[in-house]
Amino acid sequence: MQTIAVIDYGSGNLRSVERALLEAAARANRRREVRVTSDPAFVRRADRIVLPGQGAFAECMGGLKRAEGLAEALVERVRTDGAPFLGVCVGMQLLVELGLERETTAGLAWMPGVCRKLEPHGATLPHMGWNAARIVRPHPVFDALAPAAHVYFAHSFIVDLKTETDAAAFTTHGETFASAVARDNVLGVQFHPEKSQDAGLALLARFVDWTP
Amino acid sequence: MTLAARIIPCLDVKDGRVVKGVNFVDLRDAGDPAEQAAVYDAQHADEICFLDISASHEGRGTLMDVVRRTAERCFTPLTVGGGVRAVEDVRALLLAGADKAAINTAAIKTPDLIDAASAKFGAQCIVVAIDAKAVAHDRWEIFTHGGRTATGKDAVAFAIEAVERGAGELLVTSMDRDGTGAGYDIALLHAISSRVRAPVIASGGAGGLQDLVDAVKLGGASAVLAASIFHFGRHTLAEARAAMKAAGIDVRPL
């Protein structure tokens, strides 16, 4: 049976991500072992990797680095072996080079760009609730979403990508920002598929079966 | 397309069972919270909220088992409040499967808790719940312990302070209206929503669909929270969504 590692580095609501992946796999008629883990050995042989994240960029990046051998295993499995990867919320934000939340922190730098505060232009902050993710190019995973499907957001920071083709979807709240990213085997979503009811489960169902 | 106004069914919970009373007394039992939440999830509730109404005065912990059972089957955001007194309480709720913790009495008593919880888990999961009563024209005072204890704190001033300290959202309940079905306190909602950047959730007093519309259009609320009008089958979530849409409010298309 294929395994999916949900990376546990002390951040957020991991249980919901785990439950949603299991439900999505069941809906796709795929048997998957989903494990919330900080064990580098498990990550190194996982078929797929999900990196959740809640809270501040610096704290999440610090948590990832503090777990012995975890960041190295993640990099090796995703960057060297090309395992399918999905970052969720701060887990997506960590993909860029720099986080500018509170202090300047180095990210994973898998995609050129920075993570900075959303400029709401009079709208509410945090950006909280259901908003449309407009998919900008065909993608086997993101095509699961209807053209402007509403998905659930809860964040105040966004990624500014240097490479436009890394953006897979855009959302507008005060300003327009990348709400999904895709580069080769690496995907990220600023929204929470595990909290986006059928739309989110449909996306995860594609992810658990996706071959980049 | 813009951010949709949210419709949030709220389950008041006591001893693991759903209750909803008039002004927090004379409680009626409407079943198992996890069962009820699954019904609302199936009806596409934008979020679900549990408030443990007895926690702060009976010293009970929050309903971890109910939260866990709900998170097992609902793929919609879940806010849980009642009895959150420390950063560890917030962590326990999030680990059990809640997405946001609502802090009420403790936020008033020890506002530093807002800063600490927000710094630890992020503003997006910290809701500060403000229970207010009108004390003069355009002046509201915060009450705690289910509306029994006056604090002397001005609701609007505290709302501003809470957001500055890191609250990601404000759950604003009119204690005058709660359980009456007479409509939200629109002046209270407007007084707060016009002064803070964080989203305001309207609570207390929804009696009909027009009340939901007014909270957003006149009160400036980002979300409407209601209990009785949904629990006792007076209106479905679909009817609420349709009424808001007909009034020109952006709601989640389904």
In order, the DSSP letters of chain B are --PPPEEEEEEEEETTEEEEEETTEEEEE---HHHHHHHHHHTT-S-EEEEETTHHHHTPPP-HHHHHHHHHH--S-EEEESS--SHHHHHHHHHHT-SEEEE-HHHHH-THHHHHHHHHH-GGGEEEEEEEEEEETTEEEEEETTTTEEEEEEHHHHHHHHHHHT-SEEEEEETTTTTT-S---HHHHHHHHTT-SS-EEEES---SHHHHHHHHHTT--SEEEESHHHHTSSS-HHHHHHHHHHTT------
Output the CA torsion A56→A62→A63→A64 (10° steps): 110
The predicted pLDDT at position B59 comes to 37
At B54 the pLDDT is 59
Looking at chain A, which residue has its C-alpha nearest residue B43? Answer: A197
Contacts of A55 in chain B (CB under 8 A): 120-122
Burial class (CB within 10 angstroms; exposed 0-12, middle 13-18, buried 19+) of A68: exposed
Confirm if A169 and A133 have CB atoms less than 8 A apart. yes
Nearest to B97 among A13, A192, A200 (CB): A13
| Region of residue A142 (left: phi > 0; alpha: psi -120 to 50; beta: else) | alpha
Distance CA B157, CA B189 (A): 13
Q: Which domains does chain A have, with CATH numbers?
A: 2-207 (3.40.50.880)
The answer to whether the Cβ–Cβ distance between A126 and B124 falls below 8 Å is yes
Query: Which residues from chain B sit within 8 angstroms of residue A154, using beta carbons?
Result: 77, 99-100, 124-125, 168
Name the minimum distance, in Å, from the CA of A16 to any CA of chain B: 6
Q: What number is the ipTM of this complex?
A: 0.94
So what's the pLDDT on residue B141?
98
- Per-residue model confidence (pLDDT) at position B29: 45
pLDDT of residue B109: 93
- Burial (0-12, 13-18, 19+ Cβ within 10 Å), B60: middle
Candidates B46, B89, B131, B211; catalytic one:
B131
A92-130: burial string, b at 16+ Cβ within 10 Å, e else: bbbbbbbbbbeeebebbebbebbbbebeeeebbbbbbbb
Out of A16, A129, A197, closest to residue B6 by CB: A129
The reply to whether residue B122 touches residue A54, judged by beta carbons under 8 angstroms, is yes
On chain B, the residues whose CB falls within 8 A of the CB of A129 are 3-6, 46-47, 199, 222-223
Spell out the residues 6+ positions from residue A144 whose beta carbon is closer than 8 angstroms to its own: A199, A202, A203, A205, A206
pLDDT by residue for chain A (212 residues), tens digit each? Answer: 999 999 998 766 788 999 999 999 999 999 999 999 999 999 999 999 999 988 889 889 999 999 999 999 999 999 999 999 999 999 999 999 999 988 899 999 999 999 999 999 999 999 999 999 999 999 999 999 988 899 999 999 999 999 999 999 999 999 999 999 999 999 999 999 999 999 999 999 999 999 99
Q: Which of A127, A155, A173, A192 is catalytic?
A: A192
**What was the pLDDT predicted at B13?**
87
Q: Does B41 touch chain A (CB under 8 A)?
A: yes
Question: B6-246 sits in which CATH class?
Answer: alpha beta
Residues of B in contact with A56 (CB under 8 A): 119, 122
Q: Report residues of chain B scoring pLDDT below 50.
A: 21-30, 56-59, 61-62
Query: Chain A: nearest CA to B61, how far in angstroms?
Result: 19
**pLDDT for position B20:** 61
